[in-house]
Structures are given as structure tokens and as C-alpha cells.
Amino acid sequence: MFTDVSSGFLEAARKRFAQRTSIEYSVLDITRDPLSQGLEPESYDLIVAANGFLPGWWVGENDQRVEKPYVNVDRWRKELLDIGLSGVDFTTHQFNEPIVNMASTRPIPPAAQDNITLLVSEHDSGAATEVSRQFRSHGSIVELCGLYNLPRNSRFVIVLLDVVSPLLYNLDEEGFQQLKDFILGLSNHHVTWVTRSTQVSCQDPRYGLTHGFLRSVRQECVNVPKLCISTLEVNQLDDEAIQNLVSLQSHIHKHEICHRWTGRGREYALVKGVIHTVSLQSVPATQEFTKPIDNKLPKKLSLEFIGLLDTLVWREHSHSLLGDDEVEIDVRCVGLNFRVCSLLLRY
């Protein structure tokens, strides 16, 4: 006889053991007297008492799942609504079993009125005014400033310094110092740097300096906490480009609210009205290509870079059979003297 506290499990057991015709199936609550549930005394030679004594086996008793381990869709809808989700958005009955695939979404919390700082040049042609108007029409609080007076109460900064001319190409020493101070002063900011197209299409390669500079910043400024600088390439900052900039900023804002934004910045490009981004993620080469040394293969000592002793590495060497007058030596350590160093340095 196969018993279970829930009749819901018995049907699954009947199907699983359908080829065994000598099995009986019955509901049994082992915490109660078996004789009061229809069993006869001393009627079985072997009794396997499994699972019923495990912690948590009766956990469904307090939430109205005494007869079966699952609940219906209406119960799921109520439970999901009670914890702040959207309920049951849709259901899919894929099998005849009482199992249903359900989907529910977590409502995105309403976005607080965000403060946006537009970093503009003193020679701005009026594009910043239109960008500011578009963001204000979407409920944002916008402030215009230069490199030297960035407000610290704004988490989102949009750099429009490349709109009129390539900033880095024409930058003098004083301007570079201001730019350096601006970047080092960023903390818990998300910067979107608007520049001209140079990767998907290129009309002026001087704007390509921006990408190289910002990639170096992301790599080297590891001491700046939560530094995140993204770029948006546009052919020109017209109405279409500004609308896409607003949409991109809204996307960034929502992801930050839900804590789903990772990394130190991404590169975007507006091409024919569609925002593109790279789908590849950078992975350290040491993580992917470093392999443990196979001690069974012969090795030779070599330099990765001529003239630098700290780049000494063991490299695998082609295996060859020993000659009649040769012996194999098991090397446990190698000493380096001045003569060896001179040979390595090519003196």
C-alpha cells in the first residue's frame, strides 16, 4: 500500500507506478491512529515511514493546504497582490496536471522627480536650451553649469561640451585640469556624455578622442566610488536626437531605481532613429585564458618582454625523446646569477 497525507500526491503516484498492479493507494495521516483510518493491526510485514517526520512536512497545514500541496490560480492571485505584486498577469496550463505556469511582475516604484545637470560650453549654440526644455517637459528639474561649478546635489549629469566642437581636440592645459577635477569630483553620479558619431559612422574623427579618453577614465579612476560615464553618439543634436536622449536618460533612471544598473558606463549610438549599444561585455584576459601549468610537460624559462626581469615566465616546451647520452633532470628550483640576468637582458 502506498499512502500519503495528501490525496494530491496519490494521483501522481498512481501514474508513476501504473505498471505495478498490486499497489493500493490510500490517504494516511501518520500523526493520528492508523487503526482509526481503516488499517488493520499486524497486517503488514514491512512499514517504511518516510518523509512524514521531516521538519516542514506539515508546513502547509496552516495555510489551507491540508489536502494537497498546491493552490489554485485564484489563491495565487490573492497571495501575489498581498505582497505588492501585480497579481497573475497570465497563466499557461501546459499539462493536465494541477500545475500552472504563472507570471507576475514587480511594479516599478514611481520615479522621484530627478535633478539633471547639463554641462554646457560658453560657446553653446542654443542646443542646451532645447535639451533643457525637453527634460523639463518630462518633469525633470534641470540646471545648466560649466566644468568649474558642477552642483553636487544632482546624480545625473549630461555633458554637452562636444556639441559645438570636439572638446578634447581643442583643450588647453587649464581646461584639461578643469576636466580632471570634474571627473575626480564625481561620486555616485551617472554621466551621459553626448558626442558626435565616430564608431558607426564618422564625419569628424577628432571626436573619437572622447571615447579613448573616457575608456581610460573608466579603467584608471578606480578610486572614484560608483563612477559611471556613458556616451551617446549622434550625427547632430536635433529634435530626434534630443528625444532619444530623454528616453535613454529615463531608461538609465529606472534601472538605477531598481538597482539593476551595473558597470562603469556604456557606449550608445543613435543610428537612423534607433539607439544601438555594444552587446559584448569585457572580461579580463587572465580570467579566460590563464590555464594551470601542466607539470607533466617540459618547460623553458623565457621573458614576456625583453629587458624586464619581472616578466620571467615558464612556458611549455616541445617534448623530445632522450638520446643515448642524455639524462632527464627533475628541476625543483632554479637560481639566477648575474650572468643569467645579463643574458636575459641581452647585454
Q: Where are the domains of the chain?
A: 2-69, 115-277, 291-344
Dihedral-angle region of residue 51 (phi above 0 means left; psi in -120 to 50 means alpha; beta otherwise): left
pLDDT tens figures, 146-193: 877 766 667 788 999 888 888 899 888 988 888 888 888 777 788 899
pLDDT of residue 206: 93
pLDDT of residue 139: 83
pLDDT of residue 55: 58
pLDDT of residue 92: 66
What's the first-to-final CA gap in the chain, in angstroms?
Answer: 88
CA atoms within 13 A on the CB side of 239: 0
d(CA 188, CA 222): 13
Q: Using an 8 Å Cβ cutoff, are 121 and 269 in contact?
A: no
pLDDT of residue 233: 92
pLDDT tens digits for the chain (347 residues)?
888 877 777 888 888 888 888 888 888 887 788 889 888 888 888 877 766 566 566 666 677 776 666 777 888 888 888 887 778 777 766 555 555 555 555 665 555 557 888 888 877 768 888 898 988 888 888 888 887 776 666 778 899 988 888 889 988 898 888 888 888 877 778 889 999 998 888 889 999 999 999 888 888 876 766 778 889 999 888 889 999 999 888 888 776 654 455 567 788 999 888 898 876 666 666 655 665 656 667 777 777 776 677 777 778 777 778 888 888 888 788 777 777 777 766 65
pLDDT of residue 152: 63
Tell me the whole-structure pTM to 2 decimals. 0.50
pLDDT of residue 113: 55
Distances (CA, A) of 255 to 109, 138, 262: 11, 17, 9
pLDDT of residue 300: 78
SS (H, E, C) the chain: CEEECCHHHHHHHHHHCCCCCCCCEEECCCCCCHHHHCCCCCCCCCCCCCCCCCCCCCHHHHHCCCCCCCCCHHHHHHHHHHCCCCCCCEEECCCCCCCCEEECCCCCCCCCCCEEEEECCCCCCCHHHHHHHHHHHCCCEEEEECHHHCCCCCCEEEECCCCCCCCHHHCCHHHHHHHHHHHHCCCCCEEEEEEECCCCCCCCHHHHHHHHHHHHHHHHCCCCCCCEEEEEEECCCCHHHHHHHHHHHHHHHHHHHCCCCCCCCCEEEEECCEEEECCCCCCCHHHHHCCCCCCCCCEEEEECCCCCHHHEEEEECCCCCCCCCCCCCCCCCCCCCHHHHHHHCCC
- Rounded to 5°, angle at Cα 106 from 102 and 110: 155
CATH top-level class for 115-277? alpha beta
